[in-house]
Structure 1
Amino acid sequence: MNKIFFILFLLFYLNNVQSQDILKTFQISSNNKASSILYDKTGSSLDSLTAYLLAEDIKKITGSHPKVITEKKDAKGDLIIIGNISSPVISEFIDLSKIPEKFKSQKESYLYKIIKNPSSNGKKTFIIAGTDPRGTAFGIFELSKNLGVSPWYWWADVPVEKKKEITIDVPDFYSEEPAVEYRGIFLNDEDWGLQPWAAKTFEPETGDIGPKTYAKIFELLLRLKANTIWPAMHPSTKAFFYYPGNAEMAEKYHIVVGSSHAEPMLRNNVDEWNKDSLGSFNYISNKENVNNYWEERVKETSNLDALYTVGMRGIHDSGMEGVESTEEAAEVLSNVIKNQRNLLKKYHQEYITEIPQAFTVYKEVLELYDSGMELPEDITIIWTDDNYGYIRRLSNAAERQRSGGGGVYYHASYWGRPHDYLWLSSTHPGLIREEMMKAFHTKSKKIWILNVGDIKPAEYNIQLFMDMAYNTSDFEDPSYVTEHMQDFYTSIFGKSSGKEIADLKLKYFNLAYERKPEFMGWSQTEPTTKINTTAYTPFSWGDEVNTRMDEYSKLAEKAQSIGSTIDSNLKDAYFELVEYPVKGAAFMNKKFLYRDLAIKYSGQNRLNSKKFSQFSSNSYDSIVALTEKYNTKILNGKWNGIIDMMPRRLPVYKNPEIDLNKNYNTPLASIAVENQKDGGIEIPSFYKNDTISHFFDIYLRSEKEANWSIKKPEWIETNKTAGTLVPSQASERIDIKVNWKKWNNAGNPEDSSIDLNLNNQKLSLTLKVVSYDLKPSEKNIFIEKNNVVSIYAENFTTKHDSEIFRWKKISGLGYSNSLMQAFPFVGEPIDTMQLACQAPYLEYEIHTENAVNSAKLVLNALPTHPLTNNHSVRIGIQWNDNPIQIIDFKTYGRSEEWKQNVLRNLARKELTVNVKKGKQTLKIYMIDQGVALDFIYLKTKSLSLPYSLLPETKL
């Protein structure tokens, strides 16, 4: 009896499981027929719009266009139903009481559910239901993305893989609420890309960025699960509300309309404030006109889903007019906000605390806010970065309790001092993650806005920012950025190429982190200065100039190589997302680095300096050709005007003039030895078992020939031992390294030389080998090499954390590609009087060759700003047993120190220390949370450090 019962139970169980599995699958399209799409005609207009977009997406994949209906009776076969979870169309299939209460209370969330259609014989229904219209849209576009329609199908021309049928496997799914409530972009500095492209190519009927362009932008935002726009506002563009269709399009797509930090109450002051008819934009002398100006817009937008910027600045993103002191400005600003809120109360039915309002503390407004001005707590404080990716400050403990919360306005593109970066998008993804996660953990998660410039070519960074704003949990681990990048490129270019492309783009970001392409002229703007030679040297530290050019050459060659294997239908997307930015950055670097070689070699009367001058000009020509291809050759000119290779016509973008020393006279030939000044001929020292090599150059100074040969011990290896210089090959680099096995067999000599015969001129280049008497098994022991110790912060000898605070490794960022950061981002700074007994510290063991009374300890960190107004950017330094010294990386305003920090993505401080021969101990104590250490140098001799990063000098 028990056996029979068990068999019956088993059969019932297996049948039930099979039935459940069947319900997990749904066939969207098969045999040239697609499931109908039903939406609630009484629901949101966004339901209708996204229903038709989903149908278009399915057609892109299969060629079959699903029927879009509003009546269930019109359905034949399987059915996709979309709508709000509480709509009649959805409630007919789902019992609202069985949906989790937590989910029902979430904003912008969606569910997936496959059920049998009770009114249709064995047919199924796939339900996409949102807690609000945007939630439904996000569910629809997430489905499209998973089916193979990229959010960038239009904006980056990502093709859709064709399939004969679509069957999905979807168990019941409830999405989480977005991590950040308002997530969007600011279209800015559009004068050289988005506006001329829209006006002349995409929307000539408007002659501007109008509703047709905004429709494409809003669709992209929804596909990225974003919801907010700060519209374009430069003088080249008419105000958003000038064209009625713009606001209508925002309503249609359910996009929240806000405005930038300089545009209160949805007003575009640059375009809309008429000084001739309205007077000065001055709240002290012209209050009535200013208030009327704002009231007109508040009344007009009373039914618009809007995010109101409160406060006041000048017309052209400048300081407030008519005030003479910080105190007066703060008082006026407090009154401005009171009056603005009265206008909102007058025209909105919601309580004032329910109307989204933002106060952006940009530039001088931060000083006004910190001076004690009154700000209602339901207004969201939007913190800003310094325009270069480093957030100026975040919410302190008290500000985290404000009901309005905090937000961040962040730049991925910028016009201004010390230099613009409007051409390519190269802000490091690891930096975006580090700063925005810091914001999230300090409760600045109400509003995140990214300044994207012209959208293109910032596609990946926009994707990263929006994915992080939607779901920050994935990004808790810094290494996830690499995974995210791989997922992004793999989703577009497939597994065979995706990882390779991601690795390529990561290298692109790493090189640009050291110096953005736009900054390679070593010039500045506001005021604009002439270009200069770079800080990279071809004479020392392994030849920084040629090393960087080699890295970019390999990058460009790799981009070309991958591009040649990409399927033809992917080539346009590849050019836009990968090839143009990678090659553009490579050519810009070569333009200036070849110029460096021309000028710096000319100073030595090298004959080949003229050749490098031409190479520099050729690199400029390559940028011109590359940009012409983007604008006119791909997709029959779809993007004509979207890329300008010289925005604002700054000197850095031009074909550089190069003045050369024309005195190519005797002697016929000469040499230059690495790290030597004034014709020194001592090869840098080698250190036992080190694999590093050194070099010297032999070069012509006149249009003749020169023979050369070298003699050396067998244990010294060179790439060549003899040759002839001719005008067409006017220089030769001799690389030198030690064969350590042969060195041992030779009796471990400490001194030797290389004898050079150069056109019967005999020279002797001295060479030294140094051995440290240390145990090779010891871990992370650092030694002095050629008067420098180089340490990457992650490679501490020991680490000591406390119960609350700790040093945490942040991978994938910094010159060393790994930082040590003071965590967590809560709590007050550690008392500087209690460091030795309370503060976590990193300890490093160093061994030096000689005793030096005034060596320089050089500490390098991420150029972050204080976490809150209660913090600074301090660490404590203890050298050996000496007292702890406090150093602070904090910068002030737009000081020259800050300018250099952001141009090179590095903050640097020096301390003088006394060095004894042998073992030294360095301890670095935590004081302020958020400090991120990158690398450390110790100089035992006065010398110029390289611009790029030195290898570690480990044992």
Structure 2
Amino acid sequence: MIQSKIKFHLLSLLLFLVGSVFGQSIKKNDQRTPVNYVLHKMEAQAFKIVANGKSASIYVDSNDWKGVIRAAKDLGDDTRKVTGIASLVFESTKSEKNAILIGTIGKSRIIDKLIAAKKIDVSSIKGKWESFLIQTVDGQLVVAGSDKRGTIYGIYDISEKIGVSPWYFWADVPVKKSSELYVKAGKYFQDSPKVKYRGIFINDEEPSFAQWARGAYGGINSKMYATMFELLLRLKANYLWPAMWGKSFNEDDPLNPLVADEYGIVMGTSHHEPMMRSQKEYTDRKKEIGEWNYETNEKNISQFFYDGINRNKNFDNLITIGMRGEGDVAMGEGDDLKNIQTLQNVIKKQREIIQNVYNDAPENHPQVWAIFTEVQRYYDAGLTVPDDVILLFCDNNWGHIRRTYPEKEKVKNRIGGGGLYYHIDMNGGPWNDRWINTTTIPKLQEQFNLAYQSGLDKLWIVNVGDLKPKELPIDFIMHFAWNPDAIPADKTQKYMIDWANRMFGNEHAEEIADIVSKYTKYNLWRKPEAQVPNIFSIVNNQESDRVLKLWKDVVDKAEKLKSKIPVDAQDAYYQLVLYPVKASAGVAEIYLAADKNMLYAKQGRVSANDFYKRAQGLFEEDKRLSDYYNNSMAKGKWKNMMSDIHIGYKMWSMPRANQLPEMKEITPLPEPTIGVAIEGSELSWPNTTDKATLPLFDGLAKSSYYIDVYNRGLGKFEFTAKANKTWIKLSQSKGVVEKETRIQVDIDWNALTNGTSDGTIEISQGNSIVPIQLSAIKAAQPKIEEPYFGSLTGEFSIPSNSYNTSVPGKFAKWVTLPDLGRSDASMGISPVTAPSAIPESAPRLEYKVLLSKKGKATVCLGILPTQDINPARGLRIAVALDNQTPVIIDARKGLVDTFGEYTPSNLAHSKVLKPLPPLNKDIYLNGNAKQRRSEVFDNLRWLDTELQIDEPGIHTLKVYMIDPEVVLEKIVVNPDNAHSSYFGPIPMQHNVK
């Protein structure tokens, strides 16, 4: 959404006073095209698109670009979609009154004539990249573009504002009907996009996308691509990497590049397909060309490159240069120095080919070099490419960028600039992430803002897999690319509401935005393909039950809302809301049910079989949901599009079929038999010799824990429960159990004195008695009026945004990043390009904490898994208690820096380095989950250190920014690894008024 300048067509003072939306100036706005100039009822001097059963005709010069003429015809048909009356399109320079005049400056005689007659002033857009002007002039509506795509964007801007979504085809978003359409009198212009090239990469297209295209269009051909080109243009995007696995864009259908050029799409090829040649073009000619080795086969490979550029020379291309090994792997035999020299020779030859084909300097023909995986090592080692080439940096395949724009490139003011290749879909390491949307808008905003602010602003290309079901992140990234400054972190929810409004109308926009925000957030906790047993704890913090409730709540909300959605929007609602919510929740619950089944089977609970059946039922429901998507939704339009296998991954690659996790059915004992399980333990009684002991009750947190009394056999039994102390409160003292019942244990804290009190609970069935021990600790409340965190048992957690004080630094400050991460918000730095700091001048967050014991306290900082984006200095954050010397933790080096006397130069090479205390690698680990726990899968990195507590009581915990890209999500003090869980202890702030 662009920060645009808007000038008035001279209107009457009356119109000005009543508040025309065309202001004399416009402030930053959070919409790419901020002014909604379309009206649905007549206003003085407004232009009539459709009124009184008649539509305005459209005139476009036949000499204008074919893509402009084609888009003008789309506009004519869009008026039909909205009103039932099409606008006729004439390829003529002579027009009638009340007409829409469309054209490109210097290409359209219609527009040039208006300029010459001083009817329109195009100085604000002339010579700019992809800019346009819309103006009412003498009863006409003029759309003038600075270039081909500028004009096309102006046309589609009107289409969207009259009610035709860019997603009308690709997501079946209904057209917003209206009987009349007007354009408010005035002048509006759209400035150039902040990111020059903005596009998507169709990848990992088998089985879903390719099967759909073959069924719907007979192949991945020009007819199919035409729909994609139109979508991109309606989104104001301009760039495409086409489907590539076993596909050849230029050869599978020779019309493909012609249609792309006609539409106005800049074509490229993926990061490992140089010189406009697809991988398939090589594999089809492998016998003829020989091995893909430039060292041994330079002549044939160079000819292969030449043929690709020569074939596509008349089209609008962004040429990928460089070379990787065959099949998207590293080139060579592992010798980086040799590979660097080879790559330098490759690029030199490729530039010579570009020079020869175009008979022009290579710098006049845009090129991009993808610094992907091992190529980043080469770049770091000093491999350079010509200054005009775009340096395309990449993410880690799972949505965290690996480099910001290097300072050395800024210093030399590199002409080509930098770009970003980013994944919202992944087929490969570290793990597949293909099936459903697992990317939140706050995460995209944080990562793309980091890229943009650092200077990666020339090109954004996004791996979108099958395109569906990644509609939401595609929409956001293309909007954000136009003007990243227009959607700051605190506007992401507003964007979500705006998106829902654009898709479904205003009535339920907030509800839909909330639903979609939640399911993507929950997916990011643990992406469906990366689900394994025992991620969420069943016995600690009631975690699995809380996770299940959150999923069920959002599903219930989506299902209830379905009946309120208009009939014509039901297909779009299923695609964009209901299917991803229900299917994602189903996969999550399958694993939660399987976890309970396995634990309960181990404990001998007859209810284990209920969870076995629940997982099986969810498995069948998953199939039904996908079948409806593929075969019934939109009358079968998207057949096969939802065909990815997504349950039961054992390695990174897609399994052959969906598969349930391991489960067990148990055979109940012939007689009803008591079993007892307690919160905080996976053991069960009476079959265990260990003593049953509930977790320590904390008088500050007013702890409450449960005891499960369950049946291991057929029939029913009666039980009794009694405590030996009156201050122990039980939710029930007796009952009848067929399967299981839960007793909640609370403490009457008013009846206890300060200190530790012990007690026992006995659960009995006949002669079978299970004693359960417990202890409760109470202390005087600290004398402090401010909110604080803490516990009497040691462990507690702090959401990063629940600080007491935020102290700005010399060049930066901590800011809240709403809805980013697992919790309600994270804390990041503004500006993200601020210089690194030393603690004295760094922004800091202060938290009041109660620490109940002297000695060492372990402090764990949960940060987002930011990559090694600036290897010259690291990724550092500092923590201190009260006025102690801050301990600086380097997330990249795994070192703690305790600066003594220091200067800013010491930030890169500190005086005192000592090994980081051993990481609590078992923090929040559950059983077998250790095999697949990492910052990548968890979307969180834990850093921990120890701080000295001289006296128990209230202290100030301080967190300092050292490097600005580190984002703080959570703090855990004294993690209790004996009672581990994925999210850790539930945060509890005290003294909150």
TM-score (normalised: structure 2): 0.86
Counterpart position of 1:466:
478
- The amino acid that maps onto 2:890 is D
Unpaired runs of at least 5, structure 2: 1-10, 23-42, 647-652, 685-690, 895-920, 922-929
Counterpart position of 2:35:
none
| Aligned positions of 1:927-938 closer than 5 A | 927-938=962-973
Counterpart position of 1:794:
801
- The amino acid that maps onto 2:450 is K
Query: Is 1:222 aligned to 2:244, yes or no?
Result: no
- The amino acid that maps onto 1:470 is W
- Asked if the contact 1:433/1:481 (under 8 Å) is kept, the reply is yes
SS at match of 2:539: coil
Counterpart position of 1:653:
658
Counterpart position of 2:858:
856
Query: Is 1:732 aligned to 2:741, yes or no?
Result: yes
Q: CA separation in 2, counterparts of 1:220 and 1:940? A: 50
- The amino acid that maps onto 2:849 is I
Q: CA separation in 2, counterparts of 1:941 and 1:489? A: 42
Counterpart position of 2:959:
924
Q: CA separation in 2, counterparts of 1:187 and 1:259? A: 10
- Asked if the contact 1:239/1:271 (under 8 Å) is kept, the reply is no
Q: Structure 1 residues 74, 878: closer, same or farther in 2, change over 3 A?
A: closer
Counterpart position of 2:423:
411
Q: How far off its partner does 1:778 sit?
A: 1.3
Query: Is 1:139 aligned to 2:145, yes or no?
Result: no
Counterpart position of 1:354:
364
Q: Structure 1 residues 750, 17: closer, same or farther in 2, change over 3 A?
A: closer
Q: CA separation in 1, counterparts of 2:13 and 2:336? A: 75
- The amino acid that maps onto 1:734 is I
| Aligned positions of 1:352-751 closer than 5 A | 352-400=362-410, 401-475=413-487, 477-521=488-532, 533-541=533-541, 543-646=542-645, 649-650=654-655, 653-660=658-665, 664=669, 668-676=673-681, 678=683, 681-688=692-699, 690=701, 693-711=704-722, 720-726=732-738, 730-737=739-746, 744=750, 751=757
Counterpart position of 2:98:
78
RMSD: 2.9
- Asked if the contact 2:122/2:133 (under 8 Å) is kept, the reply is no
Q: How far off its partner does 1:47 sit?
A: 1.5
- Asked if the contact 1:603/1:661 (under 8 Å) is kept, the reply is no
- The amino acid that maps onto 1:802 is G
SS at match of 1:186: strand
Which of residues 346, 349, 353 is equivalent to 1:336? 346
- Identity percentage over the alignment? 29
Q: Structure 1 residues 702, 714: closer, same or farther in 2, change over 3 A?
A: same
Deviates more, 1:267-276 or 1:568-577: 267-276
| 1:365-420 C-alpha deviation (Å, 9 max, x unpaired) | 00011111231111110110000000001112221221110000000000112320
Query: Is 1:840 aligned to 2:843, yes or no?
Result: yes
Q: CA separation in 2, counterparts of 1:584 and 1:15? A: 52
Q: CA separation in 2, counterparts of 1:24 and 1:659? A: 75
Deviates more, 1:641-650 or 1:811-820: 641-650
Query: Is 1:26 aligned to 2:26, yes or no?
Result: no
- Asked if the contact 2:701/2:791 (under 8 Å) is kept, the reply is no
Q: Structure 1 residues 568, 771: closer, same or farther in 2, change over 3 A?
A: farther
Query: Is 1:876 aligned to 2:878, yes or no?
Result: yes
- The amino acid that maps onto 1:474 is A
Q: How far off its partner does 1:804 sit?
A: 1.3
Q: Structure 1 residues 776, 650: closer, same or farther in 2, change over 3 A?
A: farther
| 1:24-59 C-alpha deviation (Å, 9 max, x unpaired) | 511111233210011111111112101110011110
Counterpart position of 1:950:
985
Query: Is 1:42 aligned to 2:63, yes or no?
Result: yes
- The amino acid that maps onto 1:40 is D
- The amino acid that maps onto 1:341 is R
**What is the count of residue pairs matched by the alignment?**
904
Deviates more, 1:311-320 or 1:18-27: 18-27
Q: How far off its partner does 1:442 sit?
A: 0.8
- The amino acid that maps onto 2:420 is V
Query: Is 1:203 aligned to 2:238, yes or no?
Result: no
Q: CA separation in 1, counterparts of 2:931 and 2:312? A: 44
| Aligned positions of 1:253-402 closer than 5 A | 253-273=263-283, 274-321=285-332, 323-348=333-358, 350-400=360-410, 401-402=413-414
| 1:810-854 C-alpha deviation (Å, 9 max, x unpaired) | 222012232222443336534xxxx3434333333321233355x
Q: CA separation in 2, counterparts of 1:951 and 1:203? A: 52
SS at match of 2:136: strand
Q: CA separation in 2, counterparts of 1:721 and 1:170? A: 77
Counterpart position of 1:156:
171
Deviates more, 1:746-755 or 1:925-934: 746-755
SS at match of 1:266: coil
- Asked if the contact 1:710/1:754 (under 8 Å) is kept, the reply is no
Counterpart position of 1:804:
811
Q: CA separation in 2, counterparts of 1:783 and 1:829? A: 31
- The amino acid that maps onto 1:268 is S
Unpaired runs of at least 5, structure 1: 1-10, 117-123, 522-532
Query: Is 1:770 aligned to 2:778, yes or no?
Result: yes
Q: Structure 1 residues 48, 927: closer, same or farther in 2, change over 3 A?
A: same
Q: Structure 1 residues 673, 277: closer, same or farther in 2, change over 3 A?
A: same
- Asked if the contact 2:497/2:510 (under 8 Å) is kept, the reply is yes
Q: Structure 1 residues 785, 343: closer, same or farther in 2, change over 3 A?
A: farther
Deviates more, 1:176-185 or 1:914-923: 914-923
Query: Is 1:128 aligned to 2:139, yes or no?
Result: no
TM-score (normalised: structure 1): 0.89
| 1:221-255 C-alpha deviation (Å, 9 max, x unpaired) | 000000000011002x3444431110011011110
Q: CA separation in 2, counterparts of 1:358 and 1:269? A: 17
Query: Is 1:902 aligned to 2:908, yes or no?
Result: no
SS at match of 1:293: helix
- Asked if the contact 2:672/2:716 (under 8 Å) is kept, the reply is no
Q: CA separation in 1, counterparts of 2:969 and 2:733? A: 40
| 1:293-322 C-alpha deviation (Å, 9 max, x unpaired) | 00001111111100001100012101113x
Q: CA separation in 2, counterparts of 1:846 and 1:913? A: 13
Q: CA separation in 2, counterparts of 1:310 and 1:921? A: 54
More helix by share: 1
- Asked if the contact 1:270/1:315 (under 8 Å) is kept, the reply is no
- Asked if the contact 2:221/2:252 (under 8 Å) is kept, the reply is no
Q: How far off its partner does 1:100 sit?
A: 5.4
Q: CA separation in 2, counterparts of 1:337 and 1:349? A: 18
Q: Structure 1 residues 24, 473: closer, same or farther in 2, change over 3 A?
A: farther
| 1:604-662 C-alpha deviation (Å, 9 max, x unpaired) | 11111111111111111111000000000112211101111406642893233423565
- Asked if the contact 1:110/1:129 (under 8 Å) is kept, the reply is yes
Deviates more, 1:287-296 or 1:31-40: 31-40
Q: Structure 1 residues 102, 29: closer, same or farther in 2, change over 3 A?
A: closer
- The amino acid that maps onto 1:376 is P
Q: How far off its partner does 1:481 sit?
A: 1.2
| 1:706-741 C-alpha deviation (Å, 9 max, x unpaired) | 213445789876655542111xxx1112334567xx
Q: How far off its partner does 1:806 sit?
A: 2.8
